[in-house]
Amino acid sequence: MAQKVCPQCGAPIDPTAIECKFCGEKLTVPQTVQQLQEQQADVQQSRQPQAAVQQAVPQQVYVSGINPSWPVRNKVAAGILGIVLGGIGAHKFYLGKIGTGILYICFCWTGIPAAIGFIEGIIYLCSNDENFQLRNHVRIE
Protein backbone atom coordinates (compact mmCIF):
# COMPACT_ATOMS: atom_id res chain seq x y z
CA MET A 1 0.00 0.00 0.00
CA ALA A 2 1.47 3.33 -1.05
CA GLN A 3 1.86 5.86 1.73
CA LYS A 4 1.62 9.59 1.13
CA VAL A 5 3.66 12.24 2.90
CA CYS A 6 2.66 15.78 3.80
CA PRO A 7 4.19 18.36 1.42
CA GLN A 8 4.60 20.82 4.32
CA CYS A 9 6.17 18.76 7.14
CA GLY A 10 7.01 15.44 5.45
CA ALA A 11 5.05 13.36 7.98
CA PRO A 12 3.39 10.15 6.75
CA ILE A 13 -0.34 10.60 6.23
CA ASP A 14 -3.35 8.49 5.31
CA PRO A 15 -3.94 8.43 1.54
CA THR A 16 -7.56 9.51 2.07
CA ALA A 17 -6.74 12.37 4.47
CA ILE A 18 -7.75 15.91 3.50
CA GLU A 19 -5.58 17.57 6.17
CA CYS A 20 -2.25 16.68 7.80
CA LYS A 21 -2.85 15.75 11.44
CA PHE A 22 0.60 17.02 12.44
CA CYS A 23 0.87 20.45 10.82
CA GLY A 24 -2.71 21.11 9.63
CA GLU A 25 -1.72 21.57 5.98
CA LYS A 26 -4.69 21.23 3.60
CA LEU A 27 -4.08 18.40 1.17
CA THR A 28 -5.38 17.92 -2.33
CA VAL A 29 -7.28 14.66 -2.58
CA PRO A 30 -7.22 12.99 -5.98
CA GLN A 31 -10.60 12.71 -7.66
CA THR A 32 -10.43 8.91 -7.69
CA VAL A 33 -10.14 8.78 -3.89
CA GLN A 34 -13.10 11.13 -3.51
CA GLN A 35 -15.15 8.99 -5.87
CA LEU A 36 -14.15 5.88 -3.93
CA GLN A 37 -15.25 7.48 -0.65
CA GLU A 38 -18.60 8.47 -2.15
CA GLN A 39 -19.13 4.97 -3.50
CA GLN A 40 -18.32 3.43 -0.13
CA ALA A 41 -20.74 5.82 1.59
CA ASP A 42 -23.47 4.90 -0.92
CA VAL A 43 -22.89 1.18 -0.37
CA GLN A 44 -22.98 1.56 3.41
CA GLN A 45 -26.20 3.59 3.26
CA SER A 46 -27.86 1.04 1.00
CA ARG A 47 -26.99 -1.76 3.47
CA GLN A 48 -28.47 0.03 6.50
CA PRO A 49 -32.21 0.19 7.06
CA GLN A 50 -33.73 3.67 6.86
CA ALA A 51 -34.58 3.75 10.58
CA ALA A 52 -30.94 3.12 11.53
CA VAL A 53 -29.76 5.91 9.23
CA GLN A 54 -32.11 8.41 10.89
CA GLN A 55 -30.98 7.41 14.39
CA ALA A 56 -27.27 7.60 13.60
CA VAL A 57 -25.34 10.07 15.76
CA PRO A 58 -22.93 12.29 13.81
CA GLN A 59 -19.26 11.77 14.62
CA GLN A 60 -17.25 14.57 16.16
CA VAL A 61 -14.65 15.85 13.73
CA TYR A 62 -11.88 18.05 15.06
CA VAL A 63 -10.89 20.38 12.24
CA SER A 64 -7.64 21.48 13.85
CA GLY A 65 -6.73 17.99 15.06
CA ILE A 66 -6.69 19.13 18.70
CA ASN A 67 -8.75 16.84 20.89
CA PRO A 68 -10.76 18.64 23.61
CA SER A 69 -10.09 15.78 26.03
CA TRP A 70 -6.35 16.53 26.11
CA PRO A 71 -5.14 18.17 29.35
CA VAL A 72 -4.59 21.93 29.48
CA ARG A 73 -0.91 22.88 29.82
CA ASN A 74 1.05 26.12 29.53
CA LYS A 75 3.67 26.28 26.78
CA VAL A 76 5.82 28.85 28.60
CA ALA A 77 5.85 26.79 31.81
CA ALA A 78 6.95 23.70 29.86
CA GLY A 79 9.70 25.69 28.15
CA ILE A 80 11.05 27.16 31.38
CA LEU A 81 10.94 23.77 33.12
CA GLY A 82 12.88 22.32 30.20
CA ILE A 83 15.56 25.00 30.40
CA VAL A 84 15.92 25.09 34.18
CA LEU A 85 15.07 21.53 35.32
CA GLY A 86 15.43 19.63 32.05
CA GLY A 87 18.20 17.47 33.47
CA ILE A 88 15.75 15.65 35.72
CA GLY A 89 12.91 15.67 33.17
CA ALA A 90 10.57 18.08 34.94
CA HIS A 91 9.18 19.31 31.61
CA LYS A 92 8.38 15.73 30.55
CA PHE A 93 6.51 15.05 33.79
CA TYR A 94 4.63 18.35 33.34
CA LEU A 95 3.53 17.34 29.82
CA GLY A 96 2.40 13.90 31.04
CA LYS A 97 5.21 11.85 29.50
CA ILE A 98 6.05 9.93 32.66
CA GLY A 99 8.18 7.21 31.03
CA THR A 100 10.45 9.74 29.33
CA GLY A 101 10.68 11.71 32.58
CA ILE A 102 11.86 8.62 34.44
CA LEU A 103 14.42 7.99 31.69
CA TYR A 104 15.74 11.54 32.17
CA ILE A 105 16.07 10.95 35.92
CA CYS A 106 17.93 7.66 35.36
CA PHE A 107 20.54 9.36 33.16
CA CYS A 108 20.67 12.78 34.84
CA TRP A 109 24.18 12.04 36.18
CA THR A 110 25.56 12.05 32.61
CA GLY A 111 24.48 15.60 31.81
CA ILE A 112 22.99 14.51 28.50
CA PRO A 113 19.35 14.99 29.64
CA ALA A 114 20.25 18.51 30.81
CA ALA A 115 21.50 19.43 27.34
CA ILE A 116 18.50 17.83 25.65
CA GLY A 117 16.10 19.47 28.12
CA PHE A 118 17.66 22.88 27.46
CA ILE A 119 17.21 22.42 23.71
CA GLU A 120 13.64 21.12 24.13
CA GLY A 121 12.78 24.08 26.35
CA ILE A 122 13.93 26.49 23.64
CA ILE A 123 11.96 24.53 21.02
CA TYR A 124 8.82 24.71 23.19
CA LEU A 125 9.16 28.46 23.57
CA CYS A 126 9.83 29.05 19.86
CA SER A 127 7.15 26.77 18.41
CA ASN A 128 3.72 28.08 17.54
CA ASP A 129 0.75 27.11 19.70
CA GLU A 130 -0.84 24.62 17.30
CA ASN A 131 2.37 22.66 16.69
CA PHE A 132 3.08 22.56 20.44
CA GLN A 133 -0.40 21.20 21.11
CA LEU A 134 -0.30 18.56 18.38
CA ARG A 135 3.20 17.29 19.20
CA ASN A 136 2.61 17.05 22.95
CA HIS A 137 -1.11 16.12 22.94
CA VAL A 138 -2.07 19.03 25.20
CA ARG A 139 -4.35 22.04 24.90
CA ILE A 140 -3.47 25.68 25.44
CA GLU A 141 -6.17 27.98 26.73
pLDDT digits (tens, 9 = 90+) for 100-131: 999 999 999 999 999 999 999 999 999 999 99
In angstroms, rounded to a whole number, what is the distance separating the alpha carbons of residues 30 and 9? 20
Give the number of C-alpha atoms closer than 13 A to the C-alpha of residue 12, restricted to the C-beta side: 3
pLDDT, position 84: 96
In angstroms, rounded to a whole number, what is the distance separating the alpha carbons of residues 76 and 12? 29
**Residues with Cβ within 8 Å of residue 88, at least 6 apart in sequence:** 104, 105, 108, 113
pLDDT class of 4 with cuts at 50, 70, 90: confident
**pLDDT value at 21 more than 60:** yes
